[in-house]
Amino acid sequence: MKRRWWKEGVVYQIYPRSFYDTNGDGIGDLRGIIKKLDYLKELGITIIWLNPVYKSPNDDNGYDISDYQNIMDEFGTLDDLQNLISELHKRGLKLIMDLVVNHTSDEHLWFIRSRSSKQSPFRDYYIWRSGKNGRKPNNWKSFFGGSAWEKDKATDEYYLHLFTKKQPDLNWENPEVRDKVYKMMKWWLDKGIDGFRMDCINMISKEAGLPDTDECDSRKTLRTRPFINGPRVHEFLQEMNTKVLAGYDIMTVGECAGVTTEDAMKYAGEDRHELDMIFQFELVELDFGPEGKWDIGQWKLPDFKNVISRWQKALHGKAWNSNYLMNHDQPRALSRFGHDGKYRRESAKLLATLLLTLEGTPYIYQGEEVGMTNIAFDSINDYRDVATLNFYQEAVGNSMDKKRVMEAIHYRSRDNSRTPMQWDSSENAGFTKGNPWIKVNPNYKQINISEALKDPDSIFYYYKRMIELRKHNPCLVYGDYTLLKDEDENIYVYLRTYGKERFLVILNFSDNISFLKLTEPGSHAEFIIGNYEVSVKTGIDKKMRPYEARVYRL
């Protein structure tokens, strides 16, 4: 495959609201990010992805944009952003921004005009329909609960919103909408940003006639919905590529829920001229129950290996993978795939080993590098995420047991990853001198960056070493991936091969000692890195301690 900076880079995702507050209003800001750039440089990451920082009434924390070409008041100004870009570039780091163009805020000028009358030149910027026999235009549901249609008084018609009712969907069928979006993208690229993470980008094309969908609730059937991978989505993306993306040396990653590896090759195939890579959801949906996201199921290592292996194999040589274990929409990876109690340190390092030895660009989410964990607020009043609050209302309204509702929220809420960054052991974890917009995780006294930086054996320094290892070994970036069969269902073993170079990765995903039954390859293995003291440095010790991870060069 062609060598590219964004394949060799390591992305760090920043959720600005929770990163670092410099003016004491309890909300992270752009200046806060600038203050912490040396910390990120020390970690070794090379690309930063910023969640939306545009003007927004914050119904969905910035994913409801009212002005694409301005910065949210709480976060700072366009000058601050320009400074951030130059401070990043000075350090050899790149910046990718969130691009949220499936929908806008209902407070965006386009929507204000669109809703004002049926004759407005902006009417067709959004998806308006009249009701059917006094009912909604179809049975689509919002991802955040309730119907995806909202009736608007001014004209007595309904508009579509796949997310909250303050996030009306743009009408991509309208060429004027597309042109405005492309123009806005160029404006940002000309400011010197290095790419986009494209929000819900596989939902921009809706099936003509907006037909009813059979199964509206279960996430498992998401792919069959009339607004997922719609009929014109590839045409739109190719147009965007020709008109905008192709003119810049940038990276793009599309958020694509409900895609298979086949679909991914269409979005991100090397010769397709659409996107560079996509985020798929198979791994982070392994623990969905039959009712979907809020129905908490269990994940099993064999399925986990299967998903990763399938994506590694299918895309190799054809398209580029992106690898993430969490983000701002997911619970903390450590609490989900690792062990956030006794083996917190070991399992966080094990997950780091996995993330940084797969083919594809790795994405680290803020706090993951010091082993931050899920939060469990006792009261629903401490939660802020609109999806969580809506679920609570709906579930309690349907007389589901409150205790069970809170349990589901503790496990799944997006606020698990949105509590403030834990910088040190001072009040509010050193995140703010004021009142944080969401409470800090009380474990910040033990788990924080200042502690991690003092301890050479910390999770932080392990991430740093893994990033370093990846940077110096193209085999870990471009090499072929082979899953090795091991009968033990606690152990995950794979090989990366690149010409004559070979790395073997062994991960024990359990809190028990497990024995490696591997026969092949063996005696000449050279130990490179691991999360425990290892006495045998040549050849492989078959005994794997709880959450032990080791990388060998063969």
Nearer to ligand GLC, 143 or 492 (CB): 143
Q: Which of 278, 357, 265 is nearest to 314 (CA)?
A: 265
Name residue 455's amino acid.
D
What is d(CA 308, CA 349) in angstroms, rounded to the nearest whole number? 18
Site for ligand GLC in 157-176 (CB under 6 A): 163
Q: How far is CA 209 from CA 2, 156, 197, in A?
A: 41, 20, 29
The phi, psi pair for 497, rounded to 5°, reads -130, 130
232, 240 contact by CB (below 8 A): no
The SS3 assignment for 195 reads: strand
Instruction: Indicate which residue of 199, 287, 340, 548 is catalytic.
Output: 199
487 annotated active-site: no
Buried b (16+ CB within 10 A) or exposed e, 317-340: eebbbbbbbbbbbbbbbbbbbbbb
63 binds, among Ca ion, ligand GLC, none (CB under 5 to 8 A by kind): ligand GLC
Among 54, 63, 140, 288, binds ligand GLC (CB under 6 A): 63
Give residue number: closest CB to ligand GLC.
63
**Minimum Å distance from CB 231 to ligand GLC?**
21
Q: Which of 292, 290, 321 is nearest to 308 (CA)?
A: 321
Name residue 403's amino acid.
K
- If one asks whether residue 385 binds ligand GLC (CB under 6 A), the answer comes out as no
**Minimum Å distance from CB 32 to Ca ion?**
7
Binding site for Ca ion (CB under 5 A): 21, 23, 25, 27, 29
Structure tokens at 211: 């037909």
What is d(CA 118, CA 156) in angstroms, rounded to the nearest whole number? 10
Beta-ladder partners of 506: 493, 550
Nearer to ligand GLC, 12 or 478 (CB): 12
Nearer to Ca ion, 25 or 394 (CB): 25
**Minimum Å distance from CB 443 to Ca ion?**
23
Among 200, 253, 268, 278, binds ligand GLC (CB under 6 A): 200
What is d(CA 554, CA 551) in angstroms, rounded to the nearest whole number? 10
60 binds, among ligand GLC, Ca ion, none (CB under 5 to 8 A by kind): ligand GLC
- If one asks whether residue 60 binds ligand GLC (CB under 6 A), the answer comes out as yes
**Minimum Å distance from CB 338 to ligand GLC?**
22
Nearer to ligand GLC, 155 or 374 (CB): 374
What is d(CA 504, CA 481) in angstroms, rounded to the nearest whole number? 10
Nearer to Ca ion, 431 or 460 (CB): 431
25 binds, among Ca ion, ligand GLC, none (CB under 5 to 8 A by kind): Ca ion
19 binds, among ligand GLC, Ca ion, none (CB under 5 to 8 A by kind): none
Place of tokens 């919905």: 225
**Minimum Å distance from CB 131 to ligand GLC?**
25
The phi, psi pair for 534, rounded to 5°, reads -125, 125
- If one asks whether residue 283 binds ligand GLC (CB under 6 A), the answer comes out as no
Name residue 503's amino acid.
F
C-alpha radius of gyration, the chain, whole number: 23
511, 539 contact by CB (below 8 A): no
**Minimum Å distance from CB 163 to ligand GLC?**
4
Beta-ladder partners of 147: 141
Site string for ligand GLC, 85-114 (x = CB under 6 A): ---------------x--------------
Nearer to ligand GLC, 28 or 546 (CB): 28
**Minimum Å distance from CB 490 to ligand GLC?**
32
103, 163 contact by CB (below 8 A): yes
Nearer to ligand GLC, 216 or 554 (CB): 216
Site for ligand GLC in 319-358 (CB under 6 A): 328-329
Among 21, 59, 199, 368, binds ligand GLC (CB under 6 A): 199
Burial environment of residue 148 by CB neighbours within 10 A (0 to 12, 13 to 18, 19 or more): buried
Site string for ligand GLC, 238-257 (x = CB under 6 A): -----------------x--
Instruction: Indicate which residue of 157, 255, 276, 415 is catalytic.
Output: 255
What is d(CA 440, CA 447) in angstroms, rounded to the nearest whole number? 11
Beta-ladder partners of 254: 198, 278
Nearer to ligand GLC, 164 or 514 (CB): 164
Element housing 97 (H / E): strand 94-99
23 binds, among ligand GLC, Ca ion, none (CB under 5 to 8 A by kind): Ca ion
199 annotated active-site: yes
**Minimum Å distance from CB 394 to ligand GLC?**
17
553, 503 contact by CB (below 8 A): yes
Give the catalytic positions in this structure: 199, 255
Residues that bind ligand GLC (CB under 6 A): 60, 63, 100, 163, 199-200, 255, 328-329
